[in-house]
Structure 1
């Protein structure tokens, strides 16, 4: 068993419930973990026997283009796209962490994050 981890993907997105978030946008940091058995790929050195991290990045990038009120919803969409592409039996566990950098709050908060495990 092993994991592919994409750490600190930084993208601009237009997610949130406040009207200015839909127009001004915010920067987001996204982390993804996909756990699966990649023994065959480690032995064969064959990309077709593993999960391509370029594909994972593309899934995140495409889902970030679709506005959501909640980053919880965005996290769920990302996980569902990963599972749909690679099928549940191959994937044992998926985890997505999304952080909104500099959220529009009346205080000094660096980021607000959600974590979704599936």
Structure 2
């Protein structure tokens, strides 16, 4: 999770970037996408279609442009655990960046220890 200052665009790229991004890809965005492909990560912010004010994460001074440059990255194996991802424009965090949240649900499997039974009678 972090401020990558990367624009990944609104076009789907394999299983990494979804169709709900904003704008076009920049150089940092292409490097982030490449890193995600190599390390098996996805960008959930781009997979959920939200209201436009719930998509952008940065507003330029003077409110001339709005971009999505903050992302949450999750490993592909946890893809089905993600319920929603959106920005929270009303949160007061004293920054020109908007907070991003992701709801997910993980079901953990309880591992049981194997019982070791030792036979006290050894036969030769």
Higher strand proportion, which one?
Answer: 1
Same fold (TM over 0.5): no
Which structure carries more relative contact order (alpha carbon 8 Å, separation 6+)?
1
> Larger C-alpha radius of gyration, 1 or 2?
2
Which of the pair is proportionally richer in helix? 1
For the aligned pair, the TM-score class normalised by the smaller chain equals under 0.3
Q: Under a length normalisation based on structure 2, what TM-score does the superposition of the two structures give?
A: 0.25
